[in-house]
Structure formats: C-alpha cells, structure tokens
Copies of this chain bind each other. A is one copy, B any other.
C-alpha cells in the first residue's frame, strides 16, 4: 500500500481486513500550513506534480474495507479539493466544509454520518471511524487495520512513535523548569480510530474551549467518554509533513519507491534483443528488471500484467532510430492504465547506432521529433528520454582480437551479434572470425554506461531533461 510501491500480494489484503466492522474515514485538510513558509497550504503542495492531499486520499481509497472518505477543507478550498478529486478520479470521497480549528473541522466531518440537516444525503454511520491527517501521505493498510481493530476493542486507538527530542517545560522567565523522562512519553501520531459513537459523543459534550484550543482526539475520548485509547506503535513513515524539508523528504521517498523496478522491452530483431539482454543483465544489480523480449504487440497481456503490477519505468530498445510509432502503442497502454495518473512514468527510448563510422549524424528533424513526442507525452505524465547506444564499434588496428590476435573485420552485424552473445556467455573463451567486427569489452562498457544513464534518469525523474538524447 505504500505510495508507488508494489501491489499488495494476493491474499494479504484480505488478511489485513478487520472483520465484521464497518469503517469510514475523516481526513482533516483545513490547515493553513504557516509553518511551511509558503502561501499554499501544505496539503495542496505538489509532490511529483500531485497535491499532497491526493496521496492521503489515495492511500484510503485503495483499501476496499473503508467505505466513505470525508475530506474536510476550509471554505475557500472546497473548489480546489473538488477539482483534485475529479482530476485524479478519486472515488467514495465527500468534501465537507471545515470549521476554524482542527477539532471543529473533524466534528463537521463526523456530522455527515449523524445529522440529517448537515448533509444533503446522510451517509451510512460506520461502526469505527478512522481519523487521519491529509498531510501524512504514506499511511499503510497494516497500521490502519491495527488501529481499527484496537478501536473496536478499546473504543479508541492511535498510532504513536518514540520521541526524537527530549521534551522540556519552560518556566515563565523563559528558563528550563524541568525535562521529561523521554522513555515514559510518546509522540501521538495518526492514524487514529474510534468507535463512532465514542468520538461523536465526545465532540457533542466537549466545551468550546476544547474545540478552539485542543488538538488531540484521544484526549477528548478520555475526558468525555472515559475511554483510554489503545496506543499502537507506528512505523517511521507516519510522520506529518510540517516543514519544507518534509516536502523534500516526501518527494525523495516517492522517487525512491518509483525506482524499484524497470521493464525492458525489445523488439524481435536480433540486435535489439541482444542489447536488451545485456542491458537487463547490467541493470539487474541495481533494480528489479522485468524483460519483455519479443515485440509488444504479441505481449499485450504480459505488459498489461506488468502495468497492473505498478511498474513506473520502461526502457524500449529498438534498432531503428527514434522508433516513435512503436512506442506510441506503449504510451496508449499506459494512458489507459491508472499508472501515469498518480505518478510520473519514465520511458527511455534506446536507439542503436549501427553506423560504420566513428561519428554519427543526427538530423535536427529527428531530435525535434523526440522533443515533440516528449512534450506531448509529458501532458500524460510520461517522461520520455532518448538514449543512443553505439552498437557497432570498429576494432582499431592496434586492438586485435584478444584470443586469436588477428585484425580482420567482419561486416555482418547479425552474425557478429550472435557470436558476441556466445562470447559473453562463454566469458571470452570463444572466438570466431565473424566476431572481429566488434570489441566485446567495449560494448559491455557501453552497455554499463547506458545502465548508469538509465538509473540516473529513473532516480531523478527530471522533467527539465525530457526529450533529450543521451549517448552511452
């Protein structure tokens, strides 16, 4: 369930489902984010192009056992929030206008389940309600399931984390009064969960002072319903995006999650398949590699499987220069899937330069066509880069075949590729006249350099460099 992560293995989701309990969620998203230092409230700041709140909504929406998701925003952000829901196709989400404080906003969110006059259509009251911040994008199903089950048993539950800093009390003169023993205390984080009746009653009974100055829901449940919440140890990724550095961290975590797997697609032609094979081998030490070695058209179902497995990186190896038509098919498939809707997809077009000479000529038109293609696919959140691999490298006269020592050259690239492959597999113990046309060590070096470039492009997802043709 982590952002950009792999799909939950079959069966695991079912295990995590809290049985025999109806669950909905309220996401307060009304904060002004003044600690962030910008004018945009942090929940609407873009991370990899998508507003932070959409990540939290998505984290809830992906969990089938959560019925309704109530997002509470301030009145001036209702339209923005509705646009986000529409743009990302979020389902089971209702936008509710918040109050002036966090507690008043959460209370408003709860009212749609209980007060007819508040909502045009009263939603089905859940047994347990989850409360989760819109600015904690990485919440996993596991912890949600744990707090829901604990709330069902104890009436209330919340995630906690160890304190990072010592907590101290200051005296009126701005000096230290006392410091707390760190081991006895915990930081109260989100998600929290409550029996709906417990938290709703607490909000109904609490004072205006509570509503205006309090922030802690667990506290209200204790104070007004005598419910001691069960505390559940959470993971590090539950932290709240508060400062600009937290946005940076969120961005890097997402990029990291998106860089776990690459799919290498090669057409059926021999040269491309060979290079694709070598490239996959070289990439394997750095990233999980899915290889689709025949032409795409014959492998729709395999590719479709990879897409539904949430792969965000594709390398297409073609022996034609700028095989844009061939790639369009993949772009269409990606567009039909949800993949680029939520995260930018990296698509690297590998061209093999098989020219005989020690230079290559690139037409302006060709460069322009990659750039144009990249600009178009960028609109679909697919980042296209070109990568040229010099496949045919002539042996210089001073660099004889390492085995036979001869200097002959052989022109047939297909045969050469075959023999190259054999040479690679036999770790250079095999040699053949046909093979003299290329230097296997040099090609291996080129492929390794291509793998380095591919990893750099995948990890950075730099939108400024789309449409560029890199040379391995």
A residues sitting closer than 8 Å to B (CB atoms) are: 35, 154, 156, 158, 160-161, 163-171, 173-180, 182, 184-189, 215-216, 218-219, 222, 228-231, 236-237, 239-240, 242-246, 248-253, 256, 358-365, 367, 390, 452-453, 455-457, 459-460, 462-465, 468-471
Contact = CB atoms under 8 A, between A and B. Distances in A.
A394 to B, nearest CB: 10
B470 A215 contact: no
Given A171-B228, A252-B248, A364-B358, A216 B456 contact: no
Contact of A465 (B35, B358, B456): B456
B176 A168 contact: no
A140 to B, nearest CB: 15
A179 B462 contact: no
Contacts of A164: 187, 240, 242
Given A179-B219, A228-B171, A231-B175, A465 B470 contact: yes
Say what secondary structure dominates the interface of chain A: mixed
B359 A231 contact: no
Given A168-B187, A182-B215, 15 more contacts: A166-B219, A167-B167, A168-B231, A175-B230, A176-B228, A179-B222, A239-B243, A239-B245, A245-B249, A359-B363, A455-B464, A456-B464, A457-B465, A459-B464, A469-B471
A184 B184 CA distance: 18
Given A358-B365, A464-B456, A253 B242 contact: no
B179 A188 contact: yes
22 contacts: A164-B240, A165-B188, A167-B180, A169-B185, A170-B185, A176-B222, A176-B228, A179-B219, A179-B222, A236-B244, A237-B245, A239-B245, A245-B249, A245-B250, A245-B252, A245-B253, A246-B249, A359-B363, A360-B361, A456-B463, A457-B464, A465-B465
A319 B182 CA distance: 64
A286 to B, nearest CB: 11
Contact of A218 (B173, B176, B184): B176
Nearest to A138: B245
Given A170-B160, A460-B462, A471-B468, A165 B179 contact: no
Nearest to A366: B359
A222 B179 CA distance: 10
